[in-house]
Amino acid sequence: IEHFNCHYCKDSLLGKKYIMKEDTQYCTKCYENLFANCCGGCSLPIGCNSKDLSYKDRHWHEQCFKCAKCSRSLVEKAFAARDDLLLCTECYANDYSSKCATCKKTVMPGSRKMEYKGNSWHETCFLCHRCQQPIGTKSFIPKDSGYFCMPCFEKQYAYQCCACKKAITTGGVTYQDKPWHRECFLCIGCRKQLSGQRFTSRENYPYCLECFSNLYAKKCVGCTKPITSLAGAKYISFEERQWHSECFTCMQCSVSLVGRGFLTQRDNILCTDCGREK
pLDDT digits (tens, 9 = 90+) for 164-193: 888 887 778 888 888 889 889 999 889 998
Q: Is residue 133 over pLDDT 80?
A: yes
Q: Which of 76, 94, 112 is the last residue of a domain?
A: 94
Residue 204 lies in a domain: yes
Is residue 225 situated within a structural domain?
Answer: no
Residue 178: strand pairing partners: 175
Give the pLDDT band of residue 73 (cuts 50, 70, 90): very high
Whether 38 is in a domain gets the answer yes
Cβ atoms 202, 214 nearer than 8 A: no
Residue 89 has pLDDT above 90, yes or no: no
> 30: part of which helix (H) or strand (E)?
helix 28-35
Q: Are residues 197 and 258 in the same domain?
A: no
What residues make up the domain containing 245? 234-277
Please tell me whether residues 209 and 187 are part of one structural domain.
yes
Q: Is the pLDDT of residue 269 over 60?
A: yes
CB 124 within 8 A of CB 136: no
Query: Is the domain of 69 the same as that of 106?
Result: no
Instruction: Give 126's DSSP letter.
Output: -
Residue 278 has pLDDT above 70, yes or no: no
Last residue of a domain, one of 106, 135, 156: 156
Whether residue 31 contacts residue 17, with contact meaning beta carbons closer than 8 Å, is answered with no
Residue 131 lies in a domain: yes
- Kindly indicate the confidence band of residue 11, based on its pLDDT and cuts at 50, 70 and 90: confident
Q: Is pLDDT of 201 > 90?
A: no
Distance, in Å, from the CA atom of 68 to the CA atom of 64, rounded to the nearest integer, reads 10
Q: Are residues 116 and 176 in the same domain?
A: no
Mark whether 151 and 110 lie in a shared domain. Answer: yes
Q: Are residues 241 and 257 in the same domain?
A: yes
Q: How many domains does the chain have?
A: 4
Q: Examine the domain organization and report whether 146 and 175 are in the same domain.
A: no
Residue 224 within a domain: no
Judge whether residue 48 has pLDDT over 90: no
Is 6 among the domain residues? no
Quote the CA–CA distance of 122 and 23 in Å, as a whole number. 52
Q: With contact defined as beta carbons under 8 Å apart, do 247 and 226 qualify?
A: no
Residues 193 and 207 in one domain: yes
Same domain, 31 and 88: yes
| Helix, strand and coil percent figures for the chain, each rounded to 5 | 20, 35, 45
Q: Is residue 12 part of a domain?
A: no
Residue where one domain finishes, among candidates 94, 114, 131: 94
First-to-last C-alpha distance (Å) of the chain: 142
pTM above 0.95, yes or no: no
pLDDT of residue 177: 82
Residues 63 and 26 in one domain: yes
In a domain, 167, yes or no: yes
Cβ neighbours for 90, distance < 8 A, ≥ 6 positions apart: 70
Identify whether residues 81 and 115 lie together within a single domain.
no
Instruction: Give pLDDT, residue 92.
Output: 81
CATH code at 241? 2.10.110.10
Answer yes or no: do 86 and 119 share one domain.
Answer: no
Q: Are 185 and 205 in contact (CB under 8 A)?
A: no
